[in-house]
Amino acid sequence: MFDLNTIINIPPYSLNKGDKSALFNMAIASLTAHHYERCENYHRILRTLNYNCHSETDYYDSPFLPVRLFKDFDLLSVEKSEISKTMTSSGTSGQKVSRIYLDKTTAVLQTKVLNKIVSETIGQQRLPLLIIDSRSVVKNRALFSARGAGILGFSMFGKDVTYALDESMELDADSIASFYEKYNSDKCLIFGFTYIIWEYFIRKLIETDQKLLLDKSIIIHGGGWKQLNEQAIDNELLKKHIIETCGISNVFNYYGMVEQTGSIFTECEEGYLHCSIFSDVITRRDDFSICDKNERGLVQLLSLIPVSYPGHNLLSEDIGEILGEDDCKCCRLGKYFRIYGRAENAELRGCSDTVERI
């Protein structure tokens, strides 16, 4: 089976189209065969598709799973005794959630890849970390929600981790004041889910006419765009409000899902999401044919991380557009793209669209 550790020390945006295609043709085929042999439900799906795991196939033609399958089936490629962590997607009351089963190997790979990707944006040094959320989200470390997993994942980049919200999702004035007093002139990292940052932090600062000037800091955020869009808050307007209330211009959105934790796509200085060497995207039309560049379609996500479950090749319910490859002005190699939200009539799914998902 493909061993991701063989490429873990390669810079995450350093492979051009030809080199990355060769890597993914080999790696995705290896992972597909691995899960075919070890996951009974995945085996049945590929048999139904008459897919030959031993044929030489371009990874564009390899079988993908609708991401919603993880809501209806237990899909795992290890013995249950080897599961060390179970992650769940967000869901409103009454909705099914995805359940993702991790063994120690996959959990370690997630951490390694996340570290490589995020370090490209914030640097190698651990920074004072302000988390725009409540500590209660991460109480159960054996069963992680998408928000809890994100918080724990990004906590490894920080020191003196401080939570800006109390258990009632109100501003924790004492904690925020203490953090500001210690680090207002330092480079800090601020992390949270997009909707939480807007609804419970930036919006509250605006309403109470407060400012928290941490102009040397970096904000990384992702998830929960649906409700912001309903409030007519897009990425550029959110950045404008953050600059006005916090003085922070280094604000980077990221895109990802709990079904492929670790394989996040981060926004560059030009405002585009980027694929690293550990992941890729393909956009498809309604008939599943491949979209052209600058054509919107359903987003297919590929990741080299999942070993304990068949999550390496998934069709999401999101609409996106690939804008180019190897030629972004930020100088990162690989595809760069935009996400436009959920496909029409798709079941609501997001990292933190409502607070009731804590």
Instruction: Determine the Cα–Cα distance for residues 89 and 96; give it in Å rounded to an integer.
Output: 9
Predicted confidence (pLDDT) at residue 269 exceeds the cutoff of 50: yes
Q: Is 74 helix (H, G, I), strand (E, B) or coil?
A: coil
pLDDT in tens, 12-58: 999 999 999 999 999 999 999 999 999 999 999 999 999 998 888 89
Using 50, 70 and 90 to split pLDDT, how confident is the model at 94? low
Using 50, 70 and 90 to split pLDDT, how confident is the model at 345? low
Give the CATH number of domain 66-358; options: 3.40.50.970, 3.30.10.20, 3.40.50.12780, 2.60.34.10.
3.40.50.12780
Using 50, 70 and 90 to split pLDDT, how confident is the model at 183? very high
**Calculated CA dihedral for residues 64, 68, 69, 72, nearest 10 degrees:** 180
Residue 148 is predicted with a pLDDT of: 84
Mean pLDDT across 215-236: 88
Instruction: Determine the Cα–Cα distance for residues 131 and 77; give it in Å rounded to an integer.
Output: 34
> For the chain, what percent of residues have pLDDT higher than 70?
93
pLDDT in tens, 169-179: 999 999 999 99
Residue 13 is predicted with a pLDDT of: 98
Mean pLDDT across 256-283: 96
- In angstroms, what CA-CA distances link 235 with 109, 253, 272? 30, 8, 11
- Yes or no: say if 17 and 325 are a contact pair by the CB < 8 Å rule: yes
Identify the helix (H) or strand (E) that includes residue 355. none
Residue 91 is predicted with a pLDDT of: 57
Domain edges within the chain: 66-358
What is this structure's pTM? 0.91
- Yes or no: say if 223 and 165 are a contact pair by the CB < 8 Å rule: no
pLDDT in tens, 275-311: 999 999 999 999 999 999 999 999 999 999 999 999 9
What's the per-residue H, E or C state across 213-259?
CCCCCEEEEECCHHHHHHCCCCHHHHHHHHHHHHCCCEEEEEECCHH
